[in-house]
Every structure is written in structure tokens, then in C-alpha cells.
């Protein structure tokens, strides 16, 4: 099958549903930790999943704040960034500053092809006319590979960001990737996030100071409030990592 023929919907997950015992535990902890502070949530996740816990970050302000908390409770957690090849230089600079301050060396997970190879294959930048496919190939597929063998992953989504994300829970099953998902900032609003970042001098992307509230790949991101600047001029507001495609909240 050629890349052009790939479906935009993720293939069926390895485990569409958790084992009954895990499902019951997720439900119990989702209720117990619903109003807990992020450090308590991350502390539970680290104790429960140990080396099976990982974190994906795009170095947005939420992700940087979570790394601050993680440095306190579980600094050895493996953290990775989906380096699509299209990221802002300012985004990669945050990686260096996070390492300098917290000693957390964020791994760069890259697609199987370079940008040059990918654009040659498609006759030019695919993101201009098929952005969903570009996101799938350079984000969703690499993430699926990056979490293979892990049992839980941490994300920085917040409920107020989009309708899709408002359906998330602090602890939930993610059927898209077949593992438990931890959303420690789900119930925080943007003002609370920034207040914490400023108070604790957490490194953040300098593009935020230039009107970029949400930052993705450089060709598809413009200044804007909330996620308005993502895929500017398009209805698209999600790359596919956090979109619900199955029942019971998968993909959020």
C-alpha cells in the first residue's frame, strides 16, 4: 500500500478495551484524583506504572509545567517529543532550557522519513493540501511506535481547549494507543497554568510572548488565541493524537 492510500483514521488499537481489573482501577482513580493537584496525580501514576510510564510533550506551556512537576516527583520518567521536522527553532530551544534547569533530557522521536524525503515522495509539502495525512504520518504513527511497550502516557491537554478534550478524564483508557492516559492539567484553566509558570520560573516557548497561544509545526501555526492559530484559516484544530475515534474516550 502506498502512503497516498493510507487511511486517516488510525488502525484498530492493540487493545480496544482494558482488562476488567484495569478498567475498574481507572474508574476508581479517575474519581479519586479528579480534583487532585498535578503532583499527586503524577506521583500516583509513577508509583502505579513505574518504568511503564512515559510522557509526550510538544513543549507547549502546559507540557513545560508538567515537566516542572515531574522533576519533583518522578524525574527519571522517559519523556519524548514528536519531532516532525517542521518544528519552530524556538520550540527546540525550550528542550535545551528544560534540560539545563531540570536535568530532563527529552528524547526526539522522528518519522521514518526526513522532510526532504517526505516532500519528494508527495511532490511537495503535503501539509498545504492534505494536513490530516501529514499529521497522521508525522505524529500519530511515530507516537504509536514511541509508546510501544509502555503501559501509560502523560499528556498536557486541558478540558477547556476543545470539545474533544472536554470529554477527557484525569485518568482514562486510550484505545487509540492501547494504554492508560494521564491528564494532570485537565481541569486547569489557562490563567492558572500561566500563574504557576511565572511563579516557579518554568522555561517556556518564547513564541507565547509573540501572540502564539498554541504552538505546533511552523508551516501550520500562526499567532492566535487558544487554538485559533493552529492550521490558520482551516477548520482543523487537532493533529489527531487527542481526537476521539472510539467509544469510552479513546484518543482524547
Active site (catalytic) residues? 239
Strands 179-182 and 152-154 come out as parallel
CB-based contacts of 16: which residues, under 8 Å, 6+ apart? 175, 178, 246, 250
**N residues, the chain:** 252
Q: ∠ CA(93), CA(89), CA(155), 5° rounding?
A: 65
Taking CA atoms, 21 is separated from 13, 18, 28, 32, in Å, by 19, 8, 11, 17
Amino acid at each position: 500500500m502506498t502512503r497516498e492510500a493510507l487511511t486517516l483514521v488510525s488502525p484498530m488499537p492493540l487493545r480496544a478495551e482494558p482488562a476488567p481489573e484495569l478498567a475498574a482501577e481507572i474508574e476508581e482513580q479517575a474519581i479519586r484524583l479528579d480534583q487532585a493537584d498535578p503532583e499527586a496525580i503524577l506521583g500516583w501514576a509513577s508509583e502505579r506504572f513505574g518504568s511503564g510510564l512515559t510522557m509526550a510533550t510538544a513543549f507547549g506551556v502546559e507540557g513545560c509545567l508538567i515537566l516542572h512537576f515531574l522533576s519533583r516527583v518522578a524525574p527519571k520518567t522517559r519523556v519524548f517529543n514528536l519531532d516532525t521536522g517542521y518544528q519552530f527553532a524556538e520550540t527546540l530551544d525550550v528542550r535545551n532550557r528544560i534540560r539545563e534547569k531540570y536535568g530532563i533530557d527529552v528524547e526526539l522521536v522522528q518519522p521514518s522519513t526526513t522532510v526532504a524525503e517526505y516532500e519528494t515522495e508527495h511532490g511537495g509539502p503535503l501539509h498545504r493540501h492534505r494536513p490530516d495525512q501529514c499529521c497522521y504520518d508525522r505524529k500519530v504513527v511515530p507516537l504509536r511506535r514511541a509508546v510501544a511497550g509502555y503501559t501509560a502516557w502523560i499528556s498536557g491537554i486541558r478540558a477547556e481547549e476543545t470539545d474533544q478534550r472536554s470529554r477527557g478524564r484525569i485518568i482514562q483508557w486510550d484505545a487509540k494507543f492501547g494504554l492508560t492516559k494521564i491528564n494532570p492539567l485537565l481541569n486547569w484553566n489557562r490563567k492558572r497554568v500561566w500563574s504557576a509558570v511565572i511563579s516557579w520560573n518554568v522555561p517556556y516557548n518564547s513564541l507565547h510572548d509573540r501572540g502564539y497561544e498554541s504552538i505546533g509545526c511552523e508551516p501550520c501555526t500562526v499567532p492566535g488565541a487558544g487554538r485559533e492559530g493552529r492550521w490558520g484559516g482551516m477548520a482543523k484544530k487537532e493533529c489527531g493524537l487527542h481526537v476521539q475515534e472510539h467509544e469510552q474516550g479513546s484518543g482524547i
